Each structure stands twice: as structure tokens, then as C-alpha cells.
Amino acid sequence: MAEDTHDLDGAYALRTPEDSERYYSDWAERYDSDFSAAMDYRSPDVVAEVFAGLGGRGPVLDVGAGTGLVGEALTRHGIGPVDGIDISAAMLGQAAGKRIYRNTIRADLTGALPLDNSLYSGVISAGTFTHGHVGPEAFGELLRVAAAGAVFAVTVHSGVYEAAGFASAFARLKDRIAEFRTEPFRIYGAGADGDHAGDIGWIVSFRKL
């Protein structure tokens, strides 16, 4: 796959977990420079700040951990330990090299997770619930692996929040969660350019009952 195909449009066009695994395997070594730095990617810092502000604490599951950007942000808030889960072994290899994760776990987030019940006091995610990636069906498993009272803070791209069923899925979870909030934010900072520079996301936060 040619280097110049690795961009947001390519990522948003993914359709299957296998597509995602191949795409991010090829992009892993350059992801932080090609995407995060080049686009002034704000989501990891923004979601970590919200998580910390809600009193979030470890152990935390970083969902769609990628190269570890959220883990780095949590470390700056003094929050840990953090486990990272992602479909891409190559991306997790980059994350593990930063030595900020207790464990890295390769798994398909659209299916059953290889984790026991009630393991985590917090669940966090940035950039995973977006075009071509993971849908709202993942929250059943994420709630299963979270302990009672666990803080959730995740980003959901505004383009999929209604269209892909996130809003209705969260409404159906009303008997299992509390303190539900949504807050809009700019995904990219002033240094971003291109068609997606102005993209908006939602920070979705709640506690598991």
C-alpha cells in the first residue's frame, strides 16, 4: 500500500476489522508524525482531561489504543495503570515501546473481548468510534469488563453519532449507566489543514451503575 494513501480519507473508508488491521499495520511506524503531529490531533488530550476531571482512576482500559497517544495523555495526569486494546499488533507495538501500558491486548473490538468481567475502574477512547471503525455495539462488552462505578470517557465523531446509531444505543443503556453527558469539541487544532481540519466530535461520558 502506497504511503500517500495513509490519511483520514483512507481510514474512514475502511469497512471490516481485517481492513483496519492491514491499514494500520502499514501506517503504524509513521502514524504519530503523519497524522497526530501533522493534524494537531487534540482528541487524546481532550478526552484524558475529561476523564481526569470526572475523578477517573486506574486500572483503565484504553479502547483502540493505537500507538498510545491516550496512554501518554493519562500519564501526564498521573492516572494508571493503563491497559491498551487494539486490533492492530503493529500499532500496539508502537504503544508498548513507549513503556506506559501495563498490558497491550490485541483484539477485535467488534466482538467478544478476551477479558474477565469487572476488571476496570475506567474506560477511555479517542478516535475509535468514527467513520469506518467501531460502532456502538462495542459498549455491551465494554460495560461487561468495567466495574460498577467505572468512569467512561470516549470520543464519537459527530458524523456517526446519530447516523451510526450511537445516540440511540446510549439511550437504550439508560438503566445501566448514570451521569450521562455529551460535550462537543474540535478534533484538530489550529495547525490542521485539509478537508477534515474543522471536524467536530462529541466527548461522551458516564458511569456504569
Q: Which fold has domain 3-208?
A: Rossmann fold (3.40.50)
Nearest to 119 by CA among 138, 135, 141: 141
32, 67 Cβ separation under 8 angstroms: yes
**For the sheet containing 103-106, what is the strand order?**
103-106, 82-86, 60-63, 120-129, 146-157, 200-208, 177-186
Q: Please compute the mean of the pLDDT values over residues 9-37 and round it to a whole number.
A: 58
Return the amino acid letter for 108.
D
pLDDT digits (tens, 9 = 90+) for 59-93: 999 999 999 999 999 999 999 999 999 999 988 99
**Residue 145 scores a pLDDT above 50:** yes
Nearest to 1 by CA among 90, 115, 85: 90
Would you place residue 201 in the very low, low, confident or very high pLDDT band (cuts 50, 70, 90)?
very high
pLDDT of residue 164: 94
pLDDT digits (tens, 9 = 90+) for 106-121: 999 999 999 999 999 9
Percent of the chain at pLDDT exceeding 90: 70
pLDDT greater at residue 3 or residue 136: 136
Would you place residue 4 in the very low, low, confident or very high pLDDT band (cuts 50, 70, 90)?
very low
Extents of the domains making up the chain: 3-208
